Amino acid sequence: MLPRMASPTSGGEREKLVSKLPASLRQALKVRAAQLSTDLQDAVADGIQAWRSHPEPLPALDTAGAESFGTWLPEGLYDAFKLDCADRGVSYIQGLAQAVALWLEQNPAGDEPTLTRRMIVCNQKGGVGKTAVAAGLAQALAEDPHALSGRTSDSSALVPAVARLGLRVLLVDYDPQGHLSHQLGLKAIPAGAESLITHMINREQARTPLLDLTVVIDEERFGDRLRILPAAFDAFLLDSGLTMFRGPRHAALERALAPLEEHFDAIVIDSPPSLGLAMDAAIFYGRRRDGERPGSSGLVIPVEAEDTSAQAYGMLINQVASLTSDYDIEVEQLGLVVNKYDSRRGYIATSSLDKWKSIGTPPVLAVIGDLKEQREAVRVQRALLAYAPDSDQAHHMREIARRLT
């Protein structure tokens, strides 16, 4: 029996519940409770009560990677909840996840302002699979949920609706090397032609709307929801162009992409492997805007399980800290993706993975092995989720998207 103690926000006797909850549910719970002006502890208690009285068994949820979660319950509710978990043959973690998901389903947020989500996939160290993660995340967000294979869990049944919808997604190849464009069978925009760079630093000279420069990724499972803005050769000169730009350099990318936002639910940016002015503009674009719910926009950081990747991560975080201080903004690290992981590489790989996981915030969104399907998809210049939709790598991309929605 847990010791009874007074809740810090209630005059009634309550008991402390300490369990685990998947990060995506914990974030959704926090946001929804704030939207409805409901105490978090009351939301969890109501969810548990609804779960206990639910007439039908609820689908099992994916609780892999669940992290510590604590709240306060009315006296006696935790003991009753544990007995019900035993009767239903589910763990306390599974029962709590189902209860929270049920509360989210029964307590919709109603009308709220919709802002295009901006996910900046970045790491100044090359070779960490940044392009593969950016492409895979965008594909997973845009994918038709009805196209998912039988391997996909039924746990989405109680996840907030946005996680189950094929979103309108723009994938931006912001890296002058143009690997993303090439991997999807597109050529970079030649030097001197209108491109994203024109709209960033010479918008007055642009004659073609930026939306007209985007290209649909023509795969059935994405419908017409996934588009890409190809790379531009002029991007190699972007940093020097920004040094002479008369406007606010840090806002140049936002100025260019703002007219496109009404056409997309999410914009995913494959950033250059640098810490220059172009990266400053990308980080600023991913900041949390006024009225935007936590966890909507920010940085997704691919890393590897080795020491130099940790050093590069430290440099990126220092750059973020400088920008947030200089411009008084909030930039969220949405999560890390440990990419190309191979435990056969021994102690350095396994211990580095442990260190990434021990950070806690930002969380590790997925650990992706060094598998063949991504390389094969690049060879045939197709989207991974269309080329190998049932591969482990494809399912990991869906896992990342699910944790970010």
8 Å CB contact between 269 and 119: yes
What sign does the CA torsion over 316, 322, 324, 326 have?
negative
Hey, which residues does 68 pair with through a beta bridge?
20
Give this prediction's pTM.
0.72
Q: Convert the pLDDT of each residue in 235-259 to its tens digit.
A: 888 988 888 887 788 999 999 999 9
Cα gap 383→111, rounded to integer Å: 34
Q: For strand 169-173 and strand 364-369, is the pairing parallel, antiparallel, or unpaired?
A: unpaired
Q: What angle do CA 60, 62, 66 make, to 5 degrees?
A: 125
Cα gap 21→63, rounded to integer Å: 7
Residues near 56 by beta carbon (within 8 Å), at least 6 away in sequence: none
Cα gap 58→78, rounded to integer Å: 19
Compute CA distances 274 → 91, 176, 238, 327, whole Å. 45, 11, 12, 20
When the pLDDT of each residue in the chain is averaged and rounded to a whole number, the result is: 87
DSSP classification of residue 189:
B
Cα gap 292→16, rounded to integer Å: 31
- The whole-number pLDDT of residue 163 equals 44
Q: For strand 13-21 and strand 4-6, is the pairing parallel, antiparallel, or unpaired?
A: antiparallel
CATH of range 117-403; options 3.30.460.10, 3.40.640.10, 3.40.50.300, 3.50.40.10? 3.40.50.300
- The whole-number pLDDT of residue 3 equals 38
**Structure-token match 């009404």, residue found:** 262
**260 closest CA partner among 311, 183, 199:** 199
Q: Convert the pLDDT of each residue in 72-108 to its tens digit.
A: 999 899 899 999 999 999 999 999 999 999 999 999 8
**Over residues 278-292, mean pLDDT:** 93
Cα gap 195→236, rounded to integer Å: 13
8 Å CB contact between 175 and 282: no
- The whole-number pLDDT of residue 150 equals 45
8 Å CB contact between 303 and 315: no
Cα gap 399→363, rounded to integer Å: 13
Task: Burial-class residue 181 by CB neighbours within 10 Å (0-12, 13-18, 19+).
Answer: buried
**7 closest CA partner among 51, 58, 73, 55:** 73
Cα gap 169→118, rounded to integer Å: 10
**Ordered DSSP codes for 212-268:** GG-EE---GGGTT-EEEE--BGGGGGHHHHHHT-SS-GGGHHHHHHGGGGGG-SEEE
Cα gap 13→6, rounded to integer Å: 5
- The whole-number pLDDT of residue 283 equals 96
- The whole-number pLDDT of residue 178 equals 93
**Over residues 32-59, mean pLDDT:** 90
Cα gap 334→271, rounded to integer Å: 15
Q: Convert the pLDDT of each residue in 186-239 to its tens digit.
A: 999 998 899 999 999 888 888 999 999 999 999 999 999 999 999 998 888 898
8 Å CB contact between 230 and 188: yes
Domain residue extents for the chain: 4-106, 117-403
